Structure formats: structure tokens, C-alpha cells
């Protein structure tokens, strides 16, 4: 009588499952589950092996039925003792060879001792095993594990498990999905021969049926799970070893780095201290050298020392990280060599600090000395400069006597001003040195460079003006054809329009001066007049101006004419007002001069009395 397909498949799978344990313990294998479990001996032996616990005494060679039943009851009692519930399975059913119940009992044992320890995310054994299969085969083309039956028929799921864990044994990309039998044969042969997974099913049990038996496939897949989990454990152990070696290597590298960096830092500190000790005493250095060394010292403080401070803190942190890393893995604590410990760098740092203080003190003392010297040098030069300039300025203001004598004296003063121009350059250099040295106050003098430079400029300008005035007075004195009033008027106009104070008038200035005196020409005429007056030069000197005015005013400005002019400006009145003078376009300085010299009346100024006083 042939058995239903699922029973035949389960019988083969469960029988081979049981024999793997019996063979591994050198116990004879079984041929049929119906007959080999009847006396209970093989059942007790199998349960002792998979349960890893002795069942106690049972009959090894039972001859009587009751002995066989006792053996089976002993086995069933142990199963119940291990927390497995048995329903509708009695010892007599096993002794009588009830195959369906025997298969049911074995499935319970398989679940309890082979599958139950499989766990994924807290799911049941079956769900956990299915989830494991799905995760391992995810991403493989044509593989979709949904159950323990039809999902395995084409052999691709088994091949995917192989490729996932042992890609060196199979090339999944080369498999043909249309050849399920070949795929299954390849997977079973590699699993059996290369991995050592027991072959509890044949190819036809999976590929040769419309719907593979779920329990049989699940039992076979459980073997795959345990085999590859063992590989995973080995790989995990390898990864742990790799991580440990990596960690220790990293720790040793950190230790080596710490020692090298600490050596470099301590060497740099020692070099700096030696440099300070061998440096020349700034007390005997010039200002430029002290200034340079002060700048270098400041650079050390804001750059080099800060870098060392950062490195010192970084090394302290690195040492803490090394010790934390070693403590995390319960490894021996790292203690830096003598000379490279925290106490050593702190001692060196303290010595560096003291050296820095001493060097700063020496430089500061020298800088203060040099600043005081700069103050005195500037003050001496400034005071001397001021005294010499004061003498010359006084001489200018007190000049009198014949014009020729004054001319000679002003020339001498001008010559004496020349050395002061060189002196002011020296003062500029000294002032610049003081500014660079941050010397602001100076108790040795009240003079500043800007003040003395300004005073020198005033003195030069006074000499220039005085010289022009004397020369003009000599020219005016020689012009006998002009009255004193005319000379005063012409000289006043000339000075007013001599904007550059060069004692000469440019063409535009010459034109303005003539216009203010009532001499107005067209542009073309003005240019011709200027060329004639300047004798072809770029400007008209005072002498040329007076000569020109003599020529154009000769016999034109008599006292009667001037009095007549006043009457015309006053519009027939016996007095003239300031507004009358302004309307006649007389320059303001001349108006002010007339106002100061003409007798005042109730309504204005008495020009008649003024002219009578000048002409009598």
C-alpha cells in the first residue's frame, strides 16, 4: 500500500533527521519509523541525545509488550517534563506503529529541539525562521520566500542562501530560473558536500511535487539556518577579533602619536627657553633692535604660545581618550614614559612662563629707557629749534632804518632760515620714532613737530612778504611821478590781487587789479596790455605794475581831479557814505582804509576836509 505523498515525504525527512543524531552518537540507524520505534529503545536514545539529559533507567532489550510500553512512556514523560504538551499520543500508538502519530511526535520534537531556538525579533520559531529566510534572500531576482512550501520549488531560494553566505561556492547570476531541478540539485549537492548540511530531502521531494510538504521543508531549512548561523557566529567572532586588533592598533598609534607630539612640544619649549637665555641683554641695544625683539616677543605670545597652549590641551585630551579606550576593553592602563607625563609638561610650562616673564621685564625696562631717551632727544632738538626761530622772528619784526639796510638784513635772515629746514627734517624723524614707540606725552618740551613746522612756515612767509615789501618800497620810492596816495593805492591793489604772494601778478590777476582801478579793457586789448607790461613774461612784477600805472595815470590824478571824483561818487553831496563808496566798486580794503582816515560827519564822511588835510 503506497503512502500519501506528504506522509512519504515526512517519513523520509523525519527518519533522516533522527538518524543524523543517532549516527553522530554511533548508534545504529533506523530503517522505518513504523517499526524501529515500537520497543521505545530508539525513541529513548534519540530523546536523550537531543535533550542532552539522561532519562534514567529503561529497558535496553525489552521482550515483553509492557516493557516496550514502559520505555515509550518514559520517553513521553521526559518530553512532558521539558514543557512540551502532548495531545492524543499514547505509548500504545507508538508501539503499534501508528505512523501518523509517530510523525506528529517527531514534528513536536523537531519544533522543540531543532526549530524552537530560532528567533527573529521576538517572533515564533516558524515566523522567525521565515523572516530570516526573507532577509537573507532579499534583493535576489526571482526569489520571494512567502512560506515553507511552494516558495522553494524552483531551488532559487536555496541557491540565494548559498550565495548570501558562501558566494565562493555558487554564482547566482548564472542560474537559469527555467531549470528548477538543476538549481535544486546544485543547491543540495553544495549544501551537503561543502557545507555539511544533512540531506533529509531529495530533489523530487521539493521540485517533483505540486506543493512541497511544509513541515519537511521547514525541517530542512532549519538545518540551513543552523549551519549558516554557525558561519555567522564565526564571522562575528572574526569581526570581533578584527575590531579588537583595530582597537589595540588604534590605541598603540594614539600612544605613539602622544609620545611623539609630547617630545616635540617639550623640545620646542626647551629651545625657546635656551633662546631667551642666550639672547643679548636689551639694555645695550638700540631702539630699532629692542623694538624688533619686542615685536618678536609679542608674536610669540599671540601666536606660538597659543599654538603650544592648544597642543598642550590637545595632548591632555588625547591621553584621556587613550585611557578611556583601554578601560572600555578592560586593557592595561597606559602610563606615558618618564619625561613625557603630564607632570613633566606642566613643569616645563612653568619654567617657560617664568622665562617669558623675565624676558618681558627686560624688554619693557629697555623700552622705557629708550622712550625716555627719545623724549629727551626730541625735546632738546625742539627747544633749540624754537629758540633759533624765535630769534629770527624777532629780528624780522624789529627791522627799521634805510630800505637798503633792511633789504640786506632780510636777505641775511633768509639765509639763516635755511639750516632750520634741515633741522625740521630731523625733528620729523624724531617725531616719527616717538609715534612708533607710542611716546605721547613729553615733560621736557611744550613744542610739537606740527607746531614747529607751522611756525617755520610762518617765518618763511614773513621773510618773503617782508622782502617783497622792501623791494616794492624801493620801487615806489623811485617813482617820483606818483603821489604818496597813488603809491599807497597801487601797492594796496597789487597786494590784494597777488594771491600766490610771489610779488607778481598773473594775467587774470593783473586784469582784476586794473579793473579795480577803473581801467577796463576788452579781452584782446587786455592780453596786449599784459604782454606789454610784463615785457613778454608770464607775470607782472611790482616794479612793472607801478611803471605801467605811472604811464597810464601820469597827469591824470591831480588833487582837483580826486576831489571831483569824490563829488561824483557822493552824487553832489558834501559828504560821502559807505554805500556810495561800495557802489563805485572801490575794493573793500580801500573802503575800510578811507573810513579809518576820513573825518566823520553826522551823515557820512567829510571828503572835502580829508582832501584839504592831504594837500595842504
Assign 269 a pLDDT band (cuts: 50, 70, 90).
Answer: very high
Say yes or no to pLDDT of 500 above 90.
no
d(CA 349, CA 562): 97
pLDDT single digits (tens) 274-329: 888 888 777 777 777 888 888 888 898 899 989 999 998 999 998 889 888 888 87
**DSSP conformation letters of 409-424:** HHHHHHHHHHHHHHHH
- Residue 32: pLDDT band (50, 70, 90) is very high
Over 90: is that where the pLDDT of 4 sits?
Answer: no
* Grid coordinates of 37: 520505534
Q: What pLDDT does 215 receive? A: 92
How far apart, in whole angstroms, are the C-alpha atoms of residue 484 and residue 614? Answer: 10
| Residue 516: per-residue pLDDT | 87
Q: How confident is the model at residue 219 (pLDDT cuts 50, 70, 90)?
A: very high
Concatenate the DSSP letters of all residues of 505-565 into one string. Answer: E-HHHHHHHHHHTT----HHHHHHHHHHHHTTSSSEEHHHHHHHHHHHHTTT--HHHHHHH
Indicate whether 120 pLDDT > 80.
no
Residue 333, C-alpha cell as written in the block: 592602563
**532 — pLDDT class (breaks 50, 70, 90):** confident
CA distances to 240, 244, 333 from 321, in Å: 21, 16, 11
Percent of the chain past pLDDT 70, that is, above it, reads: 95
- pLDDT above 80: residue 474: no
Mind listing the pLDDT tens digit for each residue in 384-410? 889 888 888 888 878 887 877 887 888
Question: What pLDDT was estimated at residue 189?
Answer: 95
Which has more pLDDT, 549 or 165? 165
Look at 487 and 196; give whichever has higher pLDDT.
196
Give pLDDT, residue 413. 86
pLDDT score at 66: 92
Q: Check pLDDT > 80 for residue 241.
A: no
> Does 476 have pLDDT greater than 80?
no
Confidence at residue 151, expressed as pLDDT on a 0 to 100 scale: 93
Q: What distance in Å separates the CA atoms of residue 49 and residue 45, rounded to the nearest whole number?
A: 6
Overall average pLDDT of the 6-22 stretch: 92
pLDDT band at 98 (very low <50, low <70, confident <90, very high): very high
How many Cα atoms within 13 Å fall on the side-chain side of residue 420?
Answer: 27
How far is CA 584 from its chain centroid?
76
Give the span between the Cα atoms of 522 and 98, in whole angstroms: 150
Q: Over range 131-160, report the average pLDDT.
A: 93
Which of 19-28, 65-74, 78-87, 98-107 has the least mean pLDDT?
78-87
**Nearby residues of 480 by Cβ (< 8 Å), 6 or more positions away:** none
Is 133 in contact with 161 (CB distance < 8 Å)?
yes
Please give the residue that has the higher pLDDT: either 280 or 600: 600
Mean pLDDT estimate for the chain: 86
Average pLDDT rounded to a whole number, residues 579-591: 86
**Residue 222: is its pLDDT beyond 60?**
yes
Considering 185-199, 411-425, 455-469, the range whose residues carry the highest mean pLDDT is 185-199
Identify the pLDDT of residue 112: 86
Mean pLDDT along residues 151-159: 94
- pLDDT at residue 43 in the model: 93
541 forms beta bridges with 504
Q: Are 436 and 291 in contact (CB under 8 A)?
A: yes
Any idea which of 191-205, 354-368, 458-472, 597-611 has the lowest mean pLDDT? Answer: 458-472
Q: What is the pLDDT of residue 477?
A: 61
pLDDT band at 168 (very low <50, low <70, confident <90, very high): very high
Burial class (CB in 10 A: 0-12, 13-18, 19+), 105: buried
What does the pLDDT read at residue 103?
92
Which triple of cell numbers denotes residue 281?
641683554
pLDDT higher than 90, residue 158: yes
Task: Answer whether 0.85 is exceeded by the pTM.
Answer: no
Give the chain's domains with CATH numbers. Answer: 5-115 (1.10.418.10), 125-244 (1.10.418.10), 278-361 (no CATH), 373-466 (1.20.58.60), 480-615 (1.10.238.10)
CB neighbour list of residue 109: distance below 8 Å, 6 or more residues apart: 46, 47, 50, 79, 84
**What pLDDT score does 571 carry?**
87
Whether 271 shows a pLDDT value over 70: the answer reads: yes
Amino acid at each position: 500500500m503506497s503512502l500519501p505523498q506528504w506522509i512519504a515525504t515526512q517519513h523520509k525527512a523525519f527518519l533522516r533527521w533522527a538518524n543524523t543524531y543517532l549516527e553522530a552518537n554511533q548508534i545504529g540507524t533506523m530503517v522505518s519509523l513504523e517499526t524501529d520505534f515500537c520497543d521505545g529503545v530508539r525513541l529513548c536514545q534519540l530523546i536523550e541525545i537531543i535533550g542532552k539529559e539522561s532519562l534514567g533507567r529503561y529497558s535496553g532489550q525489552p521482550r515483553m509488550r509492557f516493557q516496550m510500553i514502559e520505555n515509550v512512556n518514559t520517553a513521553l514523560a521526559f518530553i512532558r517534563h521539558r514543557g512540551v504538551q502532548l495531545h492524543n499520543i499514547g505509548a500504545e500508538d507508538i508501539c503499534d506503529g501508528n505512523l501518523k502519530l509517530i510523525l506528529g511526535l517527531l514534528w513536536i520534537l523537531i519544533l522543540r529541539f531543532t526549530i524552537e531556538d530560532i528567533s527573529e525579533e521576538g517572533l515564533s520559531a516558524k515566523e522567525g525562521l521565515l523572516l530570516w529566510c526573507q532577509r537573507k534572500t532579499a534583493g535576489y531576482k526571482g526569489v520571494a520566500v512567502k512560506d515553507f512550501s511552494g516558495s522553494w520549488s524552483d531551488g532559487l531560494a536555496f541557491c540565494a542562501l548559498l550565495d548570501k553566505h558562501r558566494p565562493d561556492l555558487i554564482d547566482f547570476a548564472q542560474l537559469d530560473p527555467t531549470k528548477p531541478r538543476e538549481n535544486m540539485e546544485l543547491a543540495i549537492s553544495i549544501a551537503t558536500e561543502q557545507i555539511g548540511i544533512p540531506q533529509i530531502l531529495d530533489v523530487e521531494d521539493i521540485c517533483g511535487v505540486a506543493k512541497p510538504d511544509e513541515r519537511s521543508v521547514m525541517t530542512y531549512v532549519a538545518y540551513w539556518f543552523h549551519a549558516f548561523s554557525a558561519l555567522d557566529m564565526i564571522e562575528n567572532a572574526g569581526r570581533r577579533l578584527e575590531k579588537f586588533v583595530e582597537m589595540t592598533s588604534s590605541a598603540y598609534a594614539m600612544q605613539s602619536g602622544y609620545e611623539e607630539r609630547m617630545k616635540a612640544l617639550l623640545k620646542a619649549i626647551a629651545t625657546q627657553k635656551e633662546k631667551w637665555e642666550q639672547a643679548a641683554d636689551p639694555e645695550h641695544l638700540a631702539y630699532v633692535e629692542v623694538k624688533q625683539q619686542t615685536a618678536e616677543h609679542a608674536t610669540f605670545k599671540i601666536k606660538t604660545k597659543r599654538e603650544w597652549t592648544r597642543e598642550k590641551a590637545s595632548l591632555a585630551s588625547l591621553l584621556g581618550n587613550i585611557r578611556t579606550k583601554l578601560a572600555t576593553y578592560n586593557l592595561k592602563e597606559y602610563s606615558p614614559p618618564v619625561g613625557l607625563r603630564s607632570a613633566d609638561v606642566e613643569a616645563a610650562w612653568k619654567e617657560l612662563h617664568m622665562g617669558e616673564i623675565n624676558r618681558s621685564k627686560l624688554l619693557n625696562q629697555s623700552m622705557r629707557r629708550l622712550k625716555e631717551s627719545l623724549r629727551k632727544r626730541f625735546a632738546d632738538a625742539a627747544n633749540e629749534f624754537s629758540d633759533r626761530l624765535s630769534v629770527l622772528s624777532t629780528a624780522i619784526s624789529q627791522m627799521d632804518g634805510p630800505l637798503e639796510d633792511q633789504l640786506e638784513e632780510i636777505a641775511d635772515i633768509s639765509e639763516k632760515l635755511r639750516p632750520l629746514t634741515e633741522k625740521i627734517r630731523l625733528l620729523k624723524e624724531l617725531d616719527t620714532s616717538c609715534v612708533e614707540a607710542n611716546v605721547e606725552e613729553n615733560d621736557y618740551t611744550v613744542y610739537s613737530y606740527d607746531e614747529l613746522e607751522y611756525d617755520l612756515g610762518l617765518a618763511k612767509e614773513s621773510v618773503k612778504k617782508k622782502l617783497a615789501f622792501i623791494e616794492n618800497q624801493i620801487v615806489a620810492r623811485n617813482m617820483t611821478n606818483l603821489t604818496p596816495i597813488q603809491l599807497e593805492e597801487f601797492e594796496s591793489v597789487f597786494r590784494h590781487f597777488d594771491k600766490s604772494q610771489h610779488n607778481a601778478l598773473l594775467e587774470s590777476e593783473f586784469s582784476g587789479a586794473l579793473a579795480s582801478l577803473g581801467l577796463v579793457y576788452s579781452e584782446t586789448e587786455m592780453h596786449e596790455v599784459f604782454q606789454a607790461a610784463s615785457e613778454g613774461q608770464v607775470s607782472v612784477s611790482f616794479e612793472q605794475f607801478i611803471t605801467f600805472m605811472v604811464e597810464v595815470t601820469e597827469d591824470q590824478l591831480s588833487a582837483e581831479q580826486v576831489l571831483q571824483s569824490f563829488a561824483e561818487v557822493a552824487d553832489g553831496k558834501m559828504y560821502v557814505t559807505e554805500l556810495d563808496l561800495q557802489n563805485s566798486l572801490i575794493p573793500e580794503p580801500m573802503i575800510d582804509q578811507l573810513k579809518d582816515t576820513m573825518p566823520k560827519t553826522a551823515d557820512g564822511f567829510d571828503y572835502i576836509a580829508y582832501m584839504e588835510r592831504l594837500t595842504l
